[in-house]
Amino acid sequence: MQPRTTPEVGGMGHSMKRKEDPRFIRGKGNYVDDIVLPGMLWMDIVRSPFAHAKIKSINTEKALKVPGVLAVITGETLAKYNLHWMPTLMSDTQMVLPTEKVMYQAQEVAAVIATSRYAAADGVDAVEVDYEPLPVVVDPFKALEPGAPVLRTDKKDKKDNRIFHWEAGDRAATEKAFAEADVRVKQSLYIPRIHVASIETCGCIADFDRVNGKLTVYMTTQAPHAIRTVFALVAGHVGLSEERIRIVSPDIGGGFGGKVPVYPGYVIATAASVVIGKPVKWIEDRMENLQADSFARDYHITAELAARKDGTITALRMKTLADHGYADAAANPSKFPAGLFSICTGSYDVKKAFVEVDGVYTNKPPGGVAYRCSFRVTEAIHAIERITDVLAQELKMDPAELRMKNFIPKEKFPYKSALGWEYDSGDYGPALQMAMDKIGYAALRKEQAEKRARGELMGIGISSFTEILGAGPSKQFDILGIKMFDSCELRIHPTGKAIARFGTKSQGQGHETTYAQIVAEELGIPASAVQVEEGDTDTAPYGLGTYASRSTPTAGAAGAMAARKIREKARKIAAHLLEVSPDDLVWELGKFSVKGAPSRSKTIQEIAFAAYTNHPPGMEAGLEAVDYYDPPNLTFPFGSYICVVDIDRGTGMVKIRRFVAVDDCGNIINPMIVDGQIHGGLTMGMAPALLEEISYDENGNNQAGSFMDYLVPTAVESPSWETFKTVTPSPHHPLGAKGVGESATVGAPPAIANAVVDALAHLGVKHVDIPITPEKVWRILKEKGVAE
C-alpha cells in the first residue's frame, strides 16, 4: 500500500524512525527504578518458602534491630485498615498480606521498610516466620477429586476448588455432527505455565502527600486508569478519593500482560506511604518476579475434530481444565473467564462447535493471561492448529492442502463463527500460498523424503492462525464493570503543532510514533510535530490500557476520530477564512481548498492559527477534540507461518532451520514497527515451544524460579526471522488497521510443534506437548528405536 502522505508528513505506511528512541539510546529513559524522590524509603518483601502453610508467628524483633530498618508490615497491620485482602480483576479476592495462611510458594508474607535498598534486604533476612505446612494441591485434576483439600477456606461456603464453568457453542448439534462424521480425531494437549519475564521487573514508588492528601504512585502498569479506579474503590474507606489519586506509568521496560495485575507489593507500598507519610519504593528482583507474578497458559485441553473423508471439517469440540493458581486474577474481560478461547475454530469454516472451560484453584500464584496471548488466544490457536495437523495425518493429507480446503473463503466475510464471533475480514488462502512460495514448500517436501530415506529427521510445520483483538465493544466487554473503550484527547496549537494524549500505555510498542502518524495521516500535520503522551492519569483521558493488542484497534481509532472531529471544525474555520460555504471545500493532504478553484486554499497550520486569532463568530475558539471510541467489533488479523526444523538424532535437539511468517494486520501504520512486533512475537512464540516452562514439584516448589532454569532465548537460540505481509483492511476500523502485537506469539508455537511432529510422523508420532525439550524428542526416538 503506497503512503498517501509524504515522508516529511509521515502518515500511515511510513517506516519513520521512532520519536521515543532519542532518550532510550542515550540511557535517558525514565523507568520506575530511575526515579528518586526526596525522603524516599525502600521496601523489600519476606516471602513464603512453602506452597501452603499456616502462619504460626512472625517475629520482627531481629529485623527491627537491623540498622536502617524502620518498620515491618504484616497482614495484621493491614487488617486494621481492612486492606489485607483485595479484589482481583475477575472479581475474585486475593491476599495482600496473609493473616492466617499462605497459598503459594513465594507469596508475600511481610514487608520491611528501611532507609536504603541494602538495609531493606538485610531486614528481610532477619524476619523470622514460623510456618506449619499444610497439604499442597498442585495437580488441577486432583484438585477436583472428592476429598481434595479445599484451598479457599476464606470463602465461607466453598466446598471444593472449582472457580467457574464456562461454555460456548451448541453442545447437542456438535455431538450429532461428531456422531455422523466419517472421521474423528482427538488429542489431549497440555500448554504449560510460562512467565513473561520482561527485562524490567515490576515495581512502584508510592508517595502520599499528607499536606495535600494526594497519593501519587509511579508504577510499572499497562493500565494506569484502571489501577486508579481500583485503588479508589478498594481504599476509599481509608480516605483515598479518586481525584486525589494519581497513577503515573513512566517508561516501562516491557509489559506483555505481566504489568496489568495489581500486585500486593503496590498495595503494601501504598499503605506504607500513607501511614509513614514518605515515598516508599518497591522494586522486585527477578526471582520474585518469576515466582510470584502473574503467569500465563496452564491449560489442559482435549481437542476433537469431526470431518468428512474428503477432509472437510464438520465439527469441533474442546474441553479445557484451567489451572488458575489460588485466586482467579487473570486480567480477562469480566464476561470471559476463559478469555477469547472461543476463537478456537480458528481460520476454518467449522459449522458446529462446542467448547467448555473449567477453572480450578491450586497452590500456585494467580494469573493466567500475562504473556502476550490476547486473552487465551495462544491456547486456542495452539489447540486448533495441532488438532488440524492430527486430522491431516489421520487422513494422510498434506497439512497445507487440508487447511486450504477448510479456510473460510473470502466471500464469507464478515463471517459469523459457530462460537459467536463475527470475523471482520480475512483472505487466508493467499497468505498460506505466499508462505509456501517463500519457503519453497514443494522442494522442502522433496528434500524431506530424501532425508527420511537416509534416516535423517527434518520437519515442516504450518500454522494458519486467526487472531482476535481490540477488546472491545461495550455490549460485551468490561473489566470490573468498566467498559473497554479507549480514548484520545487531541489539541492543535496556534502554530499548527499538536499534543495528543491517550488512555493506553506503551511498553515499547512505539505509540509516541505510531499515534503521531495517525494524526499526520488524518490532518496532514507532520508526525514529528505531534507530541504524544500516555500514562499519567491526571492528564490522560480515561482508557483501559495497552494489552491484548488493543491499542491500534481502540485508541488508534479514537485518535483518528478525534482528528476527524477537528477536521470538521477546521472545515468551518477554513470556510470562514475563504468566505465560502463549508460544502464548497475539498480536503486533501493537510489543506482545504475551494472546489473548482484549488489555488484558493488554507493549510491546517493556517486554520490552527485562525482558531485562536480569527475564529468565526458564534464558534468557540481553539481547535481540539476528545474521542472515546467504542469499537463496533473486534478485529481479526491472521497469518500463515511455516517452520522448518532439523532434529539431532543423538541428542533430540531441535534446530529451526528457517521460519517464514506471513502476517496480515490490515492497513499498516509503520511497517518497520510492525515488523519489530512480529520479530519479538516470534521469539516469544519460539520460547514456549522449545525452552520455557514453569513447573512445580508435588510440594509446590517452583522448579524454574530463576533465569538459571527459566530459559529465555538469547540471540543464538532465536533464528533469523523472515517476515512478509498481505493486507486485508478491517472494514469497521477508521484506518482499516487491526493491531499486531501478539499475532506472532499466537502463530509461532503451533508452527514449531507441527514441524517437530511432522519430522517424526513417519515413525507414528501424532503429538508432542510443548516445550519440546531435547529429552522429550530423545525419548520418542528411543521408543521408536531410531536414536543415534
| Residues linked to residue 281 through DSSP beta bridges, in sequence order | 42, 205
222 is catalytic: yes
Question: Of 636 and 659, which has the nearer Cβ to other proteins?
Answer: 659
Q: Which of 533, 538, 486 is nearest to 511 (CA)?
A: 533
Question: Of 499 and 711, which has the nearer Cβ to other proteins?
Answer: 711
Burial (0-12, 13-18, 19+ Cβ within 10 Å), 464: buried
**Binding string, residues 282-301; x marks residues near other proteins by CB under 8 A:** ---xxx--------------
What are the strands of the beta sheet with 591-594, ordered from one edge?
585-588, 591-594, 597-603
Shortest distance, CB of residue 656 to other proteins, whole angstroms? 13
Burial (0-12, 13-18, 19+ Cβ within 10 Å), 785: exposed
Q: Quick one: which of 88, 201, 345, 702 contacts other proteins (CB under 8 A)?
A: 201
Give the integer Cα–Cα distance in Å for 588 and 10.
15
Q: Quick one: which of 650, 655, 764, 784 contacts other proteins (CB under 8 A)?
A: 650
**Binding string, residues 29-58; x marks residues near other proteins by CB under 8 A:** x-x-xx-x----------------------
User: Which region, judged by CB under 8 A, interacts with other proteins, from 96-104, 180-188, 312-320, 506-514?
Assistant: 506-514
How many residues belong to the site for other proteins (CB under 8 A)?
Answer: 78
Question: Of 281 and 403, which has the nearer Cβ to other proteins?
Answer: 281
Give the integer Cα–Cα distance in Å for 518 and 509.
15
User: Which region, judged by CB under 8 A, interacts with other proteins, from 396-404, 475-483, 712-720, 732-740?
Assistant: 712-720
Question: Of 240 and 684, which has the nearer Cβ to other proteins?
Answer: 684
Binding of residue 197 to other proteins (CB under 8 A): yes
Binding of residue 682 to other proteins (CB under 8 A): yes
Question: Of 627 and 693, which has the nearer Cβ to other proteins?
Answer: 693
Q: What's the distance, CA 580 to chain centroid?
A: 49
Binding of residue 785 to other proteins (CB under 8 A): no
Binding of residue 125 to other proteins (CB under 8 A): yes
DSSP 713-737: --TTTS---EEEE-----SSSTTSB
Shortest distance, CB of residue 681 to other proteins, whole angstroms? 7
Q: Which of 136, 134, 109, 137 is nearest to 124 (CA)?
A: 109
Question: Of 448 and 513, which has the nearer Cβ to other proteins?
Answer: 513
Give the integer Cα–Cα distance in Å for 514 and 92.
36
187 is catalytic: no
> Distances in Å between the alpha carbon of 134 and those of 46, 271, 605?
19, 30, 70
Give the integer Cα–Cα distance in Å for 222 and 224.
6
Give the integer Cα–Cα distance in Å for 263 and 187.
36
Options 372, 376, 501, 567, the catalytic residue:
372
User: By three-state DSSP, how is residue 206 classified?
Assistant: strand
For the segment 453-492, give every residue that binds other proteins (CB under 8 A). none
Shortest distance, CB of residue 42 to other proteins, whole angstroms? 10
Q: Quick one: which of 533, 630, 709, 769 contacts other proteins (CB under 8 A)?
A: 709
Shortest distance, CB of residue 338 to other proteins, whole angstroms? 26
Q: In this structure, are residues 647 and 626 in contact, taking their beta carbons and an 8 Å threshold?
A: no
Q: Quick one: which of 241, 706, 762, 764 contacts other proteins (CB under 8 A)?
A: 706
Q: Which of 726, 746, 677 is nearest to 15 (CA)?
A: 677
Give the integer Cα–Cα distance in Å for 467 and 776.
29
Shortest distance, CB of residue 784 to other proteins, whole angstroms? 15
Q: Quick one: which of 2, 156, 172, 199 contacts other proteins (CB under 8 A)?
A: 199
Q: Tell me 407's DSSP state.
A: B
Binding of residue 438 to other proteins (CB under 8 A): no
Question: Of 266 and 778, which has the nearer Cβ to other proteins?
Answer: 778
Q: Tell me 554's DSSP state.
A: I
Q: Quick one: which of 683, 728, 743, 754 contacts other proteins (CB under 8 A)?
A: 683
| Residues linked to residue 555 through DSSP beta bridges, in sequence order | none
Q: In this structure, are residues 106 and 294 in contact, taking their beta carbons and an 8 Å threshold?
A: no
Question: Of 32 and 189, which has the nearer Cβ to other proteins?
Answer: 32
Shortest distance, CB of residue 31 to other proteins, whole angstroms? 7
User: Which region, judged by CB under 8 A, interacts with other proteins, from 169-177, 446-454, 609-617, 709-717?
Assistant: 709-717
Q: Which of 203, 208, 237 is nearest to 221 (CA)?
A: 203
Q: Quick one: which of 257, 508, 541, 553 contacts other proteins (CB under 8 A)?
A: 508
> Distances in Å between the alpha carbon of 369 and those of 198, 260, 284, 301, 745?
14, 10, 20, 16, 13
Q: In this structure, are residues 692 and 748 in contact, taking their beta carbons and an 8 Å threshold?
A: no
CA angle 235, 240, 245 (to 5 degrees): 110
Give the integer Cα–Cα distance in Å for 648 and 663.
30
Question: Of 355 and 669, which has the nearer Cβ to other proteins?
Answer: 669
For the segment 103-122, give every residue that binds other proteins (CB under 8 A). 117-118, 121-122
User: Which region, judged by CB under 8 A, interacts with other proteins, from 20-28, 155-163, 235-243, 481-489?
Assistant: 20-28
Q: Quick one: which of 133, 254, 494, 731 contacts other proteins (CB under 8 A)?
A: 254
Binding of residue 769 to other proteins (CB under 8 A): no
CB atoms near residue 187 (< 10 Å): 17
Q: Which of 46, 192, 196 is nearest to 123 (CA)?
A: 46
Q: Which three cell numbers stand for residue 768?
A: 508432542
Question: Of 234 and 290, which has the nearer Cβ to other proteins?
Answer: 290
User: Which region, judged by CB under 8 A, interacts with other proteins, from 234-242, 391-399, 631-639, 776-784?
Assistant: 776-784
Question: Of 49 and 774, which has the nearer Cβ to other proteins?
Answer: 774
For the segment 72-91, give every residue that binds other proteins (CB under 8 A). none
Shortest distance, CB of residue 554 to other proteins, whole angstroms? 20
Options 202, 204, 344, 373, the catalytic residue:
373
Binding of residue 509 to other proteins (CB under 8 A): yes
Q: Quick one: which of 253, 414, 616, 731 contacts other proteins (CB under 8 A)?
A: 253
373 is catalytic: yes
For the segment 256-275, give every residue that binds other proteins (CB under 8 A). 256
Burial (0-12, 13-18, 19+ Cβ within 10 Å), 172: exposed
For the segment 225-244, give every residue that binds other proteins (CB under 8 A). none
Question: Of 118 and 135, which has the nearer Cβ to other proteins?
Answer: 118
Question: Of 140 and 680, which has the nearer Cβ to other proteins?
Answer: 680
- Dihedral sign for Cα atoms in the order 628, 634, 640, 641: positive
Give the integer Cα–Cα distance in Å for 227 and 191.
30
Binding of residue 773 to other proteins (CB under 8 A): yes
Q: Quick one: which of 333, 346, 399, 510 contacts other proteins (CB under 8 A)?
A: 510
Options 107, 222, 393, 507, the catalytic residue:
222
User: Which region, judged by CB under 8 A, interacts with other proteins, from 142-150, 205-213, 587-595, 702-710?
Assistant: 702-710
Q: Quick one: which of 92, 200, 293, 606 contacts other proteins (CB under 8 A)?
A: 200
Q: In this structure, are residues 615 and 576 in contact, taking their beta carbons and an 8 Å threshold?
A: yes
393 is catalytic: no
Burial (0-12, 13-18, 19+ Cβ within 10 Å), 355: buried
Give the integer Cα–Cα distance in Å for 41 and 718.
40
Q: Point out the residues that are catalytic.
A: 222, 372-373, 742
